[in-house]
Every structure is written in C-alpha cells, then in structure tokens.
Chains A and B, each alone.
Chain A
C-alpha cells in the first residue's frame, strides 16, 4: 500500500511536470508569434 502511495505521488509529479512543460512551450510559442506579428504589422503587412 505504501509502495502504491509513493508511486502514485511520483506519478502525480510527472503529470504536473508534463503539464507545466506543455504550458511553458505554449506560452513561448505565443510570445514568438506576437513578436513576429508585431514585426509584420510594423512593416505594414
């Protein structure tokens, strides 16, 4: 039972880490997109 609890705790950490990485990648992509869009609009695109 203790093994199961420890393992599910590790699993929860893994889940959270995966979610955080996905969120970070999405935010980074958004920043890059906004940067490029700003360049395009400043050039009158």
Chain B
C-alpha cells in the first residue's frame, strides 16, 4: 500500500506524513545534486564562455564547441560542489544559503566533495583530450583558483576576498577563446578584465543588503569589516573604472559601433545606479544596483555577440 498524507494530529497520522516526506525526498534527491552545482552561477559562466568561443576568429566543429561548453559547465559545477562542501558550516548560518543541500543535511558533505573532485577531473581531462590542453589547463586553473585561492584562502580572511577571488569567474571567456584558437590574445584578456572588475561591485551590492547574514556567519565582507560608506564608495569607484574599460574593445576596433554605443549606455546606467547608492544608502538601492549589475553583464556580452553577428570590428 502506498503511503498517503494524513492528518498529523490524528492517531498514526504522523507516520503517514513521515512516509510521504520520505517519498518526496526520494524524488527531490537528484534535484538536490543539481542545486549543489549552483545552476544560476553556471548559467552566467556558460554564457560568458560561449561568447568567448563565438568571438574567436575561427570556427570550432559544433561537437567540439558543445564539448567545450559542457566542460565549462561541469567545471563550474565542480567548483560549486566543493565550495558547498567546504562552506557548509557558514552556509547554515546565512538565510540566503541555509537551504543549500549540504547546509541542511540533504546531501552528505563527503558526497558533495566526491562529486566535486570527480567532475573536476572529468571536465579538465575531457577538455584537454577533446579540445586542447590550453583550454584544459585554463579550466583546471579556474577550478583551483575558486577552490583553493577564493574558498579556502581568501573568503574567510579578508574583505578583499571577492576582488581577487573574482578572477575565477572571469576565466570562462578566455577558456572559450582558447578552445577555438589554442592561444590567448588581447580581446579575450579584455573580456577577462571586464568580468574581473564587474565582480566586486556586484557582490558588494549584494553584501550591503545581506550584511547581517555575512556578519552572523563571520565572513569578512567589505560592509561588515569597513562599513557601508566605504563599500558604497568602492562600488562607485569600480563602476567608474569598469565603464571605460568595457568600451575599450570598440575603441580599439575589435568590436564595432553597436557594441560601443551599447556598452557606453549600459556603463552610464551602471554608474548612475552606483552613484544613487552612494548618495542614498538603503537596502533597496543596493538591491537595485545588484540587479542592474546582473543585467549589465548579460547585456554587455549579448551586445558583443550581436555586434560580431552583423560584422562589427576586425578580428585581433
């Protein structure tokens, strides 16, 4: 007889609810493993990696292009799984992360670690053997950087954790480019720098309205350690540096006017959002800047694709 949900207050009802809960867990366990890979982060990484691949001045066989993107996704998932394993103690103390499967005990830490290591090896080896070893090496560097430098080294020690650690998220466009060309040139380095400079204001905006969370978990994010004023000033400063840098590929002629005009307008919007946050300190303003930063990066990279699709710029 299949278990059914019954009134938990009725005699024997608690057991029925427990059975129904167990059945639900069975169905959701695979979903937990999927959540362990941080699919939201994976989306952005896959997208920027694909843009690097698309902008490269050659074409990769569709099967190899698919393999490249798959390996980037698996590498990102591997880093996330190991990060979830290592950070399960602090994830438990933060409202934003306490529902992660390793934080609430739905996945055993050892399982998360095993999955992370297996996916790391699988993604790097597949990238190296199927595509090329420069792309494979960059993917290995990305995973190692995220796990050892950011997660284990910087995250709990310094308020500048995200400044240096952000490099891990900036590698995918380089990997995509390297997969096609087997080398690295100026344009993918600029893409790396764009994501690198975008990461701190993005996460500082988040940490402004999640400040209590980070403080409770003992993570020394900038607003926790140096206060909101310093953080808002840093956000504005980074957007002021990021905006002209993001326009640089168009100024150099590597991308065309569609990208140049779009990147300028997006940059003005980002600086305006950061300026408003600097002038008016509120959680709402911080949330708006955080959301704008997400849209900014997505639209910026989308503009690169559109610009190249209509033939803008020359190939470096």
Interface residues of A (CB under 8 A from B): 1, 3-4, 7-8, 11, 14-15, 18-19, 22, 30, 33-34, 36-37, 40-41, 45
Contact = CB atoms under 8 A, between A and B. Distances in A.
Given A3-B15, A7-B3, A18-B29, A45 B64 contact: yes
10 contacts: A1-B15, A3-B15, A4-B15, A4-B18, A7-B3, A11-B26, A18-B26, A22-B30, A33-B67, A41-B130
Given A4-B18, A37-B67, A15 B61 contact: no
B279 interface: no
Contacts of A1: 15
A43 to B, nearest CB: 9
Contacts of A30: 122
Contacts of A8: 18-19, 22
Given A3-B15, A19-B30, A22-B30, A45 B22 contact: no
B26 A7 contact: no
A19 B34 CA distance: 12
B30 A18 contact: yes
A37 B23 contact: no
